[in-house]
Amino acid sequence: MLRQASRLLARRPILAARTRAFSTDLSAADQTADAAFADAWNKVIPNMDPPKTPLSFMQPRPPTPSSIPSKLTVNFVLPYASELATKEIDMVIVPATTGQMGVLPGHVATIAELKPGVLSVHEGNEVTKYFVSSGFVFIHANSFADIIAVEAVPLDRLDANLVQKGLAEFTSKLSSATTDLEKAETQIGVDVHSALNSALTG
Amino acid sequence: MAMAALRREGRRFAPLISPRPITAVRSSPIAPTYEDEGPIGVRYISTQVVRNRMKSVKNIQKITKAMKMVAASKLRAVQTKTENSRGLWQPFTALLGDLPSVDVKKSVVVTISSDKGLCGGINSTAVKISKGIRKLNSGPEKETKYVVLGEKAKAQLIRDSKKDIELIITELQKNPLNYTQVSVLADEILKNVEFDALRIVFNKFQSVVSFLPTVSTVLSPEIVEREAESGGKLGDLDNYEIEGGETKGEILQNLVEFQFSCVMFNAVLENACSEQGARMSAMDSSSRNAGDMLDRLTLTYNRTRQASITTELIEIISGASALEG
């Protein structure tokens, strides 16, 4: 109820205190949720300060512009590093479960799951390719793309021999697998290795 | 306390009530010294007790200084990992927002704490916040369960909320923290615990001296759908096209599980960082206190020593003048 009321009020978003590499949108609705939580907390536990929530550690993201921007801003994150942080590029091709998907500025807002495959980032004339194990990609209406992958390596770090060996190993394991769990695990191994194979050759 | 010291030393003690020139020193609370009667009636004051105490305080100071150095080096190692992992949860919050005050029936509080002690107050704050969240979510038909990571929170929560604890996980940091370990952990939690909303309570590492207790909320797919339909922050979720998968529910399920493991990974790393930082500052203040105590003891020791020298001189001189006169 509070959230609906605040949307009508359209308050200006307040910038978060900490500056970060990313910029996200702390809209009016987010502010009220934070305030509602803080109020509820203070009523029940008056002696302690309320804990912080993730919203206070993020920067607001720009709202959807009226015209299509010229560049796509991409955040490519892994558990161990942020490969690309708010980098402005022309296009990115992601290996979604439905196939290779090209993302250009002004792409419709999408949530897509990734399968093992090659991710390529196109900036001007440069193309950087990564092999991605799996993850998610969120494309927002304001031409921001978030790619979250579990593991990503540049293609030149892959060893073709090991890929072949792994593929052979998992294929043989798949044919000898008995339980459903084993079958699922070996199937995943086969999928990943054949994707690696096609990435190296294709 | 002086009597106990005497008894420990196994020496005779002179009655402390008789006034002697060294009464001033004896009344010092830190350094109980005492007199003894020597074989030819020479009185001397023993500084043994003070010396022992000084030695132990100096050892404590060395130990705490070493612990601070160890914590500093561990902090350096974890800090880079933590800062690199900070980008991981931001896309999820950008997409799904953060609704800490969402109204759910079953909420599960995941409290992250350390296994080892001597790290200041961070574990107590985490437990206090968890209990606060539980109180916040109390009401008819609502229940809150705990999942505890770390020995310290386990010790505190078992005392009064034993029946509400679903899972206890300890020895998290035996091997260096990595995403695989945390995702296995997240899998276990998701398999065994029913939840509408998961609230992860941890200490976020802001700087070496500042740790902010934080709560991250992860909603189950059903609640995400419910909130999306009812409008508000998640209302925009319907505008997103879903690529792949047969149903939106399937993708949401995977999304929620992935979000949980990413948020857990960041939370565990931040907590580890906060633990090392808190330990550094605790050990630092402890070595500073030990240094102050050592200074005070040194002054007392010197006063006692000089007093005994003065007493000896007085006795010798008065003895000599008695012989002459």
Residue A159: is its pLDDT beyond 70?
Answer: yes
Spatial contact of B234 and B217, defined as CB atoms under 8 Å apart: no
- Chain A residues whose beta carbon lies within 8 Å of the beta carbon of residue B265: 79
In chain B, which residues have their Cβ closer than 8 Å to the Cβ of A7? 232
The answer, yes or no, to whether residue B219 has pLDDT greater than 70, is: yes
Task: Quick: pLDDT tens for A66-118.
Answer: 888 888 889 899 998 888 888 888 889 999 888 888 988 888 888 888 989 99
State whether B91 and A148 contact (CB < 8 Å). yes
The pLDDT, as a whole number, for residue B233 is 67
Dump the DSSP string for A101-124.
EEE-TTPPPEEEEE-SEEEEEEET
B40 CB-near residues (< 8 Å, 6+ apart): none
Interface test with B, best of A7, A19, A37, A43 (most B CBs within 10 A): A37
Closest CA to A142 of A70, A65, A88: A65
- Name the more confident of A1 and B103: B103
pLDDT, one tens digit per residue, over A174-191 is: 888 888 888 888 888 888
Structural contact between residues B124 and B275, judged by C-beta atoms closer than 8 angstroms: no
Q: Give me the mean pLDDT over the B153-173 stretch.
A: 90
In this predicted complex, what is the ipTM? 0.79
Amino acid at B7: R
Residue A130 has pLDDT above 70, yes or no: yes
pTM of the model as a whole: 0.81
The whole-number average pLDDT for the span A157-174 is: 87
Residues B154-179 have a mean pLDDT of 90
> How confident is the model over A134-147, as a mean pLDDT?
88
B67-232+248-284: which CATH topology?
A: Pyruvate Kinase; Chain: A, domain 1 (3.40.1380)
B197-207 and B165-169: which strand pairing?
Answer: unpaired
SS3 B150: coil
CB contact under 8 A, A48 and B129: yes
Contact A79 B179 (CB under 8 A): yes
pLDDT computed for residue B156 by the predictor: 92
User: Residue A4 above 60 pLDDT?
Assistant: no
Cβ–Cβ below 8 Å for B91 and A141: no
Interface test with B, best of A136, A144, A185 (most B CBs within 10 A): A136
Q: Does the beta-carbon distance from B214 to A79 stay under 8 Å? A: no
Distance CA B84, CA A50 (A): 27
The residue ranking higher by pLDDT, B245 or A78, is A78
Q: What value does the mean pLDDT of chain B take?
A: 84
- For residue A183, give how far its alpha carbon lies from the nearest alpha carbon of chain B (Å): 19
Tell me the mean pLDDT in the region B70-80: 94
Q: Which of residues 6-65 of B touch A (CB under 8 A)?
A: none
CA distance B209 to B201: 19
* Of B185 and A18, more confident: B185
